[in-house]
Structure 1
Amino acid sequence: MAITHRQAKLQESKLGIERRYPDFASKLFSFLERDESTICWANTWNDYHLSALRVAPSDAIRRQFGISNEIPVLIATYESSLQPRVLRQLDTSKELRESASADKDFAILVAADRNAEQFTKDRTRFSYPILTIYTNDLRDGKFTATNLRSEIAQSMRSMNHFDNSNEIHHAADFFGRVQDVEALTHLASVGQSVGIFGLRRAGKTSLIHQVRQQLERKGTESIYVQLNGVVDADDLRQALVGETAMVLRNKGGTVPENSGMLDKSFNLTYDGTAAKRWMYEMEALLHQINSDLVIVLDETDHANEEIAADDESEFGDRQQMNLVIQHLRGLIQKRSDRSDNKLSLLAAGTAASIFEKSIRFGRDNQLFGFASSRPLGSMPRDEMREMVRVLGKRSGLKFDDHRVFDSLLEEYGGHPHLTRQACARVVENVQADPEADVPHHVSIQDLEAVYGSTAENSPTHATRQTFRNFEQWYPDEAAAIMKAATDGQPAEPNHVTHAIDFGICGPKGNLRQRALRRELCRGMG
């Protein structure tokens, strides 16, 4: 039977890889296809050390692990100093994970560098399992007595993809919040300043990163400053100037003449004059950038005077940072009046009072109405289910009982971090059992074992921390919730408006988190 053009091209590409890597390529191919999986795409890249494959998984792998799309395989034969930028090809190459036919939840790296796993198991770089195969092991025949299905099972037992405290940057690893991303992107792109406010660890920072990526696709520049990462107001001023300068540098611009805060290489030079010069520097940079820009300020609670500070110096720092944002408001308004390119603010925090309250401490709030406030509530059931299903797939768990999802939703009310933490503890329990199957089918009993723990790293402990953070900023609402929980009655909806917006309570004031209700009834507060 004559072979098709596509089959002929595949055979030619595989021969090219065998010629490039004669000491291990044929053994790699045998391993990948031993369990009836098939290599369906191959290519040698211009860099002699790099090649790529995609493998159509066998029916057994599809059934067992839910890997239904083609598995991306990157071959990287650098003997030492394998750079993370090379591994990023797994994420960014249109021939690998970015291919429409590629699986997004599993990948394979074939590497010569024996230190490769320190990168592939680094959750800050990769949020999905990567099976690492060393070329020396292939040469030595260590993969002749195993198959792809067995190695996938072993790989999934070694990683817990629910247990991730880092913000998420890559769209393929971000779950849900579609309406929030679209709304915030639209508001920011038309020059509307907006603040996103929600519970601790509700996913505000990850959401902001997705919005920034969408803005970039629309041709809108953005800078990002995290207020809990700056020391004081002067440091904030320098951060704003420095990040804006990087936008200009990336656009091929030059440092404005007479700059007193930047050298010719765009490095910050601090001489104690930031408070006096920074607005001039910002205007000069924005003039040369000559395009729309969104200033993203994360953790704005650090510039909110509302909370009672531990000491006068902390309160003074908050006031000074708040003053910097007031000056930004003036800059944004000035550029709007002149019909310059759009400049706007995208803020994120827990306390919306920074923009919502007109009077604070007996005086006008200069930031009142500066940005519209948009609450970030709990995840809808369908979005939460997809997050749990995909992360479970990456961690060797199967959530195929609808009662498991119902239980998680009732326990944590759709809070993404609390839900992930509960599932992470299930993964730990499964991985501690050498007799457990992979994948493990999660049961109600698995979850109840987690719900009962009050240890420091437990979801119950995280539930308490989340509520206490809410209580700091909304003490009256927290008091109403605590009373309602102990009385066994819903809270008056008008008394818990932010709690409803953030997903702690339902529209009628009923407590949505069973874990929180249990803790409040135990006397937390």
Structure 2
Amino acid sequence: MDNHITEFRPGKRIGANLSILTLQEKKLVDILTKYDWFLTRVDEIFIANSAYKAMLMKPSPKIKQAFNISREVVFAFSPYDTFQPRSIDSIEHYDIQELRLEEICSVIISKDNDIEQKLNSILKTNEEARVIVPFSYHELEESANDPDYFINKFRQNFYSRDLFGIQDPLKKDLYFFGRRDLIHTLVNKHLSSENAGIFGLRKTGKTSILYGIERALDRKNSTTVFVDCQTLHLKKWNTALLYIIDELRKSSSVKNEDLKLIKGYEKLEFVSDFFLDDIKTIYHKNGKKSILLIFDEIEHITFESSISSDWKNGDSYIKFWQIIRSTYQKLRQINVMTYLITGTNPKCIEQSAVNKIDNPIFAQFQPIYIPPFDFNQTKEMLDKLGGYMGLKFDEITCARLVEDFGGHPLLMRQMCSFIHRKTVKPRPHHIHKSEYENLKKLFYEDESGFIKYAQMVLEVLDNWYPDEAQMLTWLSIGDNETFKGLADASPDYIKHLINYGIIEKNDENYSFSIESLKDYLSRKNKYKRLRLTNEEKQNEISVRRNTIEPILRKYVRNTLKANYGEVEAKKLIIKEIYGAKEISKHENKPYAEFYDSNKHNIYLKTLFDLMKKHWEKCFRNTFEIDEKVFEAKATFINHLRKGDAHASKITDQDFQSFRGAMEWLEERLHEFN
């Protein structure tokens, strides 16, 4: 432990401007500095004609260790009987980074006894808000002699907050990790009059990066316009250009009457000239601030992928980008305007021609794929956010997290959020490898956990690259021969998979970079593997039949009862198992008992026969096929039951027929599982 920590003494710095505090506030400072805090500075802050007082406090070793707080913390007084939300602004008065203050944590002390409820109501709608610990004057005075009261209140506010669970794009630096070098690169490209494009899987932080670029360029005296292509595609090419000019106008001192396009955008033959003139006008009247046009979700205005016909057929796409590119080239020398394209699908810069017309932005720049978090970036995030939440991750666990989720920020954060929700042990708590592995297994199996996020991440491939998605399936189930054969024949197929960071190539072999996606796909497609031995075929048939049979028994039992009533349904099942003559002998037994294979000889064939006999009345609506088709599928499933006894050779054709029929039945009975 360093000397600074060992020499800590609670108290007040000599010379701190305590004279601006009221007598009551001085007494509260005495309480705060009795056990865990050292006051270094007091300031008076004026906001909207109201006066606030704020202090900087150094935490004790106990506070530092419990909440990962190493810097001074801002304490703000709210001296009004009714809490005013603008009191929070007094915290923003300080330049947090310049003064090396604690970024995420702060404290508000209010005269309002309902401060906690009111503050929580304000902060709950803002996921990116600081962790603000509220105290009333009264409760601090009441707890003056309780050395644990303050730290317990901190625990209540820190350990209940799920800082990993933030899913919306991050608009502030507060919880932003791992992308500052990329932002610096993209900002420099704009300042050097270069266009750029960033691409990646869903939820890799693209939009958060864009917000980071906006913040950085604002400090560089540049203007950014954020163009959401999810709505831009609803406009035709000329009104899309008008929209951009209007958005730029809103951020400058230019008036409508100064602009040509706003007055004459319907004169299509002049749109290109008007757009160029308006860009120059805005540039000069806005203090010669360079302009960055950010196009987010670019696939929505890209040929073939847009859902709007004018963009999909390439007509609006060609005209729009011809004008954007022409304007950029004419003004490049004085660095007036550049554009940044972002999305999941880089097709707009990969295809050389659209409708036999040169693609205006083909190969205009090398696409930048968002890289995964490495170990150090992940460790920084875990130490910072986990530390505040009372969760400590050792280096082995951190390395496993990076390996399992391939450095994908959303997947890792959601895994850590799951750990937070499932950890009931007192905090601070160390998450060791064994505990992590157990929780990871639960996360994988949770329908609202990894499965949901895996589908979200892979949606990019399903939508834009179905062939590559199929290749991932082959790789996940161990069909390396088929995968490698197609990869060698068509290298373009694996380019996107590698660029997205899903797979990697080592020597001549391919493997998953995101192990969790491999596990997900292998489980999802475990019955699609080819080239099985006869024993493997027999084992799959046995496992799938044994799995589906109890589900089918429950379904048939409930369906017959719903349609015929329990008394009549019981007679039907007795008749099927024992014959009509045996009904009176068994009819006093409970109905459900006849579907218990340990008590009665009810087989898969028995269930299929019952379904065929009562198809029209009971089962047709669920399965939506006629009886003959159902009978054919049931025959395939039941015919190969001899595989259970390792009896005969199963042909590939029969096995694929079984798989098709069984998959059909499993999908329809999924809700009864």
Using structure 2 for the length normalisation, give the TM-score: 0.66
What is residue 352 of structure 1 aligned with on the other side? Answer: 346
What is residue 384 of structure 2 aligned with on the other side? Answer: 390
Q: CA contact under 8 A between 1:350 and 1:470: conserved in structure 2? A: no
2:438 is equivalent to residue 437 of structure 1: no
- Pairing 1:298-309 to 2, within 5 Å after superposition: 298-307=296-305
* Partner SS state of residue 369, structure 2: strand
Q: CA deviation at 1:462?
A: 0.3
Distance 2:153 2:31 in 1: 10
Q: CA deviation at 1:381?
A: 1.4
Q: CA deviation at 1:497?
A: 1.7
* Partner SS state of residue 301, structure 1: helix
Distance 2:154 2:353 in 1: 59
Supply the AA of the counterpart residue of 2:469: A
What is residue 459 of structure 1 aligned with on the other side? Answer: 450
Q: CA contact under 8 A between 1:356 and 1:373: conserved in structure 2? A: no
Q: CA contact under 8 A between 1:32 and 1:55: conserved in structure 2? A: no
Distance 1:354 1:32 in 2: 60
Q: CA deviation at 1:254?
A: 4.4
Return closer, same or farther for 1:238/1:79 CA change in 2, 3 Å cut-off.
farther
What is residue 176 of structure 1 aligned with on the other side? Answer: 178
What is residue 43 of structure 1 aligned with on the other side? Answer: 43
What is residue 164 of structure 2 aligned with on the other side? Answer: 162
Q: Deviations over 1:113-160 (max 9, x none)?
A: 64232233443441x422122345446x36764532221111112210
Distance 1:53 1:236 in 2: 50
Distance 1:92 1:174 in 2: 21
Supply the AA of the counterpart residue of 1:479: Q
* Partner SS state of residue 87, structure 1: helix
What is residue 518 of structure 2 aligned with on the other side? Answer: 517
Distance 1:37 1:173 in 2: 25
Q: Aligned to 2:408, which of 404, 415, 422?
A: 415
Return closer, same or farther for 1:485/1:360 CA change in 2, 3 Å cut-off.
farther
Q: CA contact under 8 A between 1:503 and 1:512: conserved in structure 2? A: yes
> Which segments of 5 or more consecutive residues in structure 2 lack a partner in the other structure?
1-11, 529-673
Q: CA contact under 8 A between 1:195 and 1:371: conserved in structure 2? A: yes
Return closer, same or farther for 1:281/1:83 CA change in 2, 3 Å cut-off.
farther
Return closer, same or farther for 1:78/1:125 CA change in 2, 3 Å cut-off.
farther
Q: Deviations over 1:86-115 (max 9, x none)?
A: 524434522xx3343312232112245642
Supply the AA of the counterpart residue of 1:327: I
Distance 1:187 1:89 in 2: 36
Return closer, same or farther for 1:402/1:329 CA change in 2, 3 Å cut-off.
same
What is residue 293 of structure 2 aligned with on the other side? Answer: 295
Q: CA contact under 8 A between 1:75 and 1:110: conserved in structure 2? A: yes
Q: CA deviation at 1:177?
A: 2.2
What is residue 473 of structure 1 aligned with on the other side? Answer: 464
* Partner SS state of residue 166, structure 1: coil
Between stretches 227-236 and 206-215, larger displacement belongs to 227-236
Distance 2:140 2:341 in 1: 51
Distance 1:507 1:274 in 2: 53
What is residue 448 of structure 1 aligned with on the other side? Answer: 438
Q: CA contact under 8 A between 2:66 and 2:390: conserved in structure 1? A: no
Return closer, same or farther for 1:81/1:105 CA change in 2, 3 Å cut-off.
closer
Return closer, same or farther for 1:306/1:88 CA change in 2, 3 Å cut-off.
farther
What is residue 123 of structure 2 aligned with on the other side? Answer: 120
Between stretches 111-120 and 343-352, larger displacement belongs to 111-120
* Partner SS state of residue 233, structure 1: coil
What is residue 87 of structure 1 aligned with on the other side? Answer: 88
Q: CA deviation at 1:380?
A: 1.4
Distance 2:136 2:309 in 1: 55
Q: Aligned to 2:501, which of 500, 503, 512?
A: 503
Q: CA contact under 8 A between 2:103 and 2:174: conserved in structure 1? A: yes
2:191 is equivalent to residue 198 of structure 1: no
Q: Deviations over 1:282-309 (max 9, x none)?
A: 45433433331111111112112243x6
- Pairing 1:261-300 to 2, within 5 Å after superposition: 261=262, 273=266, 279=275, 281-289=278-286, 290-300=288-298
- Please identify the structure whose Cα radius of gyration is greater: 2
Distance 2:196 2:513 in 1: 27
Q: CA deviation at 1:481?
A: 2.1
Return closer, same or farther for 1:395/1:283 CA change in 2, 3 Å cut-off.
same
> Which segments of 5 or more consecutive residues in structure 1 lack a partner in the other structure?
1-5, 263-270
Distance 2:233 2:198 in 1: 23
* Partner SS state of residue 75, structure 1: strand
Return closer, same or farther for 1:124/1:322 CA change in 2, 3 Å cut-off.
farther
Return closer, same or farther for 1:332/1:76 CA change in 2, 3 Å cut-off.
farther
Q: CA deviation at 1:418?
A: 0.5
What is residue 190 of structure 2 aligned with on the other side? Answer: 188
* Partner SS state of residue 116, structure 1: helix
Supply the AA of the counterpart residue of 2:347: S
Distance 1:14 1:274 in 2: 68
Supply the AA of the counterpart residue of 2:512: L
* Partner SS state of residue 452, structure 1: helix
Between stretches 272-281 and 291-300, larger displacement belongs to 272-281
Return closer, same or farther for 1:215/1:258 CA change in 2, 3 Å cut-off.
closer
Q: Aligned to 2:327, which of 303, 324, 331?
A: 331
Supply the AA of the counterpart residue of 1:186: N
Q: Deviations over 1:346-380 (max 9, x none)?
A: 12111111112213565532321334311112111
Using structure 1 for the length normalisation, give the TM-score: 0.83
- Pairing 1:43-122 to 2, within 5 Å after superposition: 43-47=43-47, 48-77=50-79, 82-83=84-85, 87-91=88-92, 93-94=94-95, 97-112=96-111, 114=115, 115-122=118-125
Q: CA contact under 8 A between 1:426 and 1:447: conserved in structure 2? A: no
Distance 2:302 2:259 in 1: 34
Q: CA deviation at 1:187?
A: 0.7
Distance 2:359 2:80 in 1: 58
Return closer, same or farther for 1:185/1:473 CA change in 2, 3 Å cut-off.
same
Distance 2:367 2:303 in 1: 17
* Partner SS state of residue 165, structure 2: coil
Supply the AA of the counterpart residue of 2:122: F
Q: CA deviation at 1:513?
A: 1.3
Supply the AA of the counterpart residue of 2:32: L
Q: Aligned to 1:484, which of 466, 475, 482?
A: 475
* Partner SS state of residue 104, structure 2: coil
Distance 2:474 2:356 in 1: 30
Quote the RMSD (CA, aligned, Å).
3.1
Q: CA contact under 8 A between 2:68 and 2:388: conserved in structure 1? A: no
